[in-house]
């Protein structure tokens, strides 16, 4: 089977792109990646996205991008896995090259959220959960994460100020990230004094809605970064026959499989891009992957373990909280950011001596998880 490398990446700063449409965003990210590797011609395009049909009345994103790039004739598809769409799109690109069927695959994650407004975006996000078991109750995606937070905090005796350590880390890293939506530090006090969205989740502990697109150009012909392994796993939908709410089974399975296939031990990981949509999601992901002991991830965060200069930096460009969370694009942003770290192109966000990184992207509340293990090939 072929080895899979990343030749280049292209990023659009996350934010409010009122003047740009969905096609503009993915074209910009794709063009940036292609310009950085002019000798590579994609023979397949994969677009990760969640909302285009609901929000933009536009499907066929693969063909739409191929047409915009002047690549009519190339194989092109769209991938959807809720907030994990970007990561799963990269996974499909990895498999396309690994199998030997394709040599160069352009993967783009894209989302246009601001045009929807808060009400429509809230309804759209609820589609990540079961229409039959969850949506009919009127529960929003944030309220489900709030309920999970309550369960976690009660079970382990965690406090609000401990959970707030995750958004504080994210914002600290986002300050120097040029593509981050929010480039401002916050304190634990700031988090705890911000408005309650769904108790105990507050405004500054929840990710912003934003527009954005990120692209990675995968190739079998070598590159500065190699994708050692890519895995996707699933879990029961939250509150639908899930035996243990505090076990992120999809995260646990996908990460263990990926590490095993890569021949990498957790102790060898230099940094992680974790799906820190809410503090409880970051905590349960880190614990289910075996990085922190059960109930201890917030304490590890508070004690500096996950800082940029800590034992295992996370969210090195601000994560979902500060970089932003244009949902269908998030997993692609993570892989692009890992590429920048491992190719030495992270600028002021560079993790010194980074050789191996892991990205973790989930759809729903751990209903789908995509994990990639990457290594510098320099």
Identify whether 67 is part of a domain.
Answer: yes
What pLDDT score does 179 carry? 98
**pLDDT tens-digit readout, 68-102:** 999 999 999 999 999 999 999 999 999 999 999 99
Average pLDDT (46-74) is 96
**Do 330 and 214 share a structural domain?**
no
Pairing of strands 212-219, 104-111: antiparallel
**pLDDT tens-digit readout, 251-269:** 999 999 999 999 999 999 9
**pLDDT tens-digit readout, 152-181:** 999 999 999 999 999 999 999 999 999 999
**Do 258 and 215 share a structural domain?**
no
- Say whether pLDDT at 119 is over 90: no
- Say whether pLDDT at 48 is over 80: yes
What pLDDT score does 147 carry? 94
**Do 334 and 244 share a structural domain?**
yes
- pLDDT averaged over the chain? 96
Please give the Cα distance from 41 to 222 (Å, whole number): 14
- Say whether pLDDT at 193 is over 80: yes
What pLDDT score does 240 carry? 72
Domain boundary residue among 184, 219, 254? 219
**Do 107 and 11 share a structural domain?**
yes
User: What pLDDT band is residue 358 in, cutting at 50, 70 and 90?
Assistant: very high
**Do 231 and 361 share a structural domain?**
yes
- Among candidates 27, 37, 32, which has minimal Cα distance to 67? 27
How many structural domains compose the chain? 2
**Do 98 and 52 share a structural domain?**
yes
Identify whether 275 is part of a domain.
Answer: yes
Using an 8 Å Cβ cutoff, are 152 and 300 in contact? no
**pLDDT tens-digit readout, 326-340:** 999 999 999 999 999
Active-site residues, by number, are 83, 325
- Say whether pLDDT at 318 is over 80: yes
What pLDDT score does 127 carry? 85
What pLDDT score does 131 carry? 78
Using an 8 Å Cβ cutoff, are 185 and 322 in contact? no
Task: Identify the domain containing residue 248 by its residue range.
Answer: 225-376
- Among candidates 165, 213, 205, which has minimal Cα distance to 314? 165
- Say whether pLDDT at 1 is over 80: yes
Average pLDDT (18-28) is 97
Average pLDDT (345-373) is 97
**pLDDT tens-digit readout, 131-144:** 777 777 777 889 99
pTM above 0.95, yes or no: yes
**pLDDT tens-digit readout, 214-259:** 999 999 999 999 999 999 999 998 777 788 999 999 999 999 999 9
The shares of helix, strand and coil residues in the chain, as percent rounded to the nearest 5, are 40, 20, 40
- Say whether pLDDT at 64 is over 80: yes
Specify the 3-state DSSP secondary structure of 92.
Answer: helix
What pLDDT score does 238 carry? 77
- Among candidates 250, 161, 240, 226, which has minimal Cα distance to 356? 226
**Do 106 and 241 share a structural domain?**
no
What pLDDT score does 241 carry? 76
Using an 8 Å Cβ cutoff, are 274 and 285 in contact? yes
């Amino acid at each position: 089977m072929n080895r899979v490398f990343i030749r280049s990446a292209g990023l659009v700063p996350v934010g409010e792109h009122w003047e740009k449409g969905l096609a503009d965003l993915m074209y910009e990210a794709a063009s940036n990646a292609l310009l950085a590797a002019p000798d590579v011609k994609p023979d397949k395009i994969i677009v990760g996205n969640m909302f285009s049909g609901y929000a933009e009345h536009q499907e066929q994103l693969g063909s739409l991008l191929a047409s915009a790039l002047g690549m009519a004739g190339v194989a092109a598809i769209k991938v959807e896995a809720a907030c994990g769409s970007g990561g799963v799109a990269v996974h499909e690109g990895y498999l396309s090259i690994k199998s030997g069927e394709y040599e160069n695959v352009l993967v783009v994650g894209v989302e246009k959220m601001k045009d929807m407004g808060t009400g429509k975006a809230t309804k759209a996000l609820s589609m990540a959960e079961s229409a039959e078991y969850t949506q009919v109750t009127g529960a929003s995606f944030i309220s489900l994460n709030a309920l999970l937070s309550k369960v976690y905090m009660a079970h382990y005796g965690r406090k609000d100020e401990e959970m707030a350590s995750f958004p504080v880390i994210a914002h600290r890293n986002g300050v120097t990230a040029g593509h981050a939506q929010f480039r401002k530090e916050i304190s634990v006090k700031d988090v705890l004094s911000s408005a309650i969205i769904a108790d105990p989740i507050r405004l500054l502990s929840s990710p912003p809605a934003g527009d954005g697109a990120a692209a990675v150009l995968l190739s079998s012909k070598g590159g500065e970064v190699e994708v050692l392994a890519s895995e996707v796993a699933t879990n029961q939908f939250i509150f639908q026959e899930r035996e243990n709410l505090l076990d992120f089974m999809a995260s646990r399975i996908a990460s263990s499989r990926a590490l095993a296939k890569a021949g990498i031990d957790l102790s060898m990981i230099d940094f992680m891009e974790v799906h820190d949509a809410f503090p409880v999601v970051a905590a349960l992901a880190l614990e289910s992957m075996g990085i922190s002991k059960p109930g201890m991830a917030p304490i590890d965060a508070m004690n500096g373990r996950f800082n940029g200069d800590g034992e295992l930096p996370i969210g090195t460009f601000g994560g979902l909280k500060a970089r932003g969370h244009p949902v269908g694009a998030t997993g692609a942003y993570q892989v692009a950011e890992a590429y920048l770290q491992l190719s030495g192109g992270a600028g002021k966000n560079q993790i010194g001596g980074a050789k191996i990184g892991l990205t973790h992207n989930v759809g729903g509340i751990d209903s789908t998880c995509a994990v990639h293990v990457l290594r510098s090939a320099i």
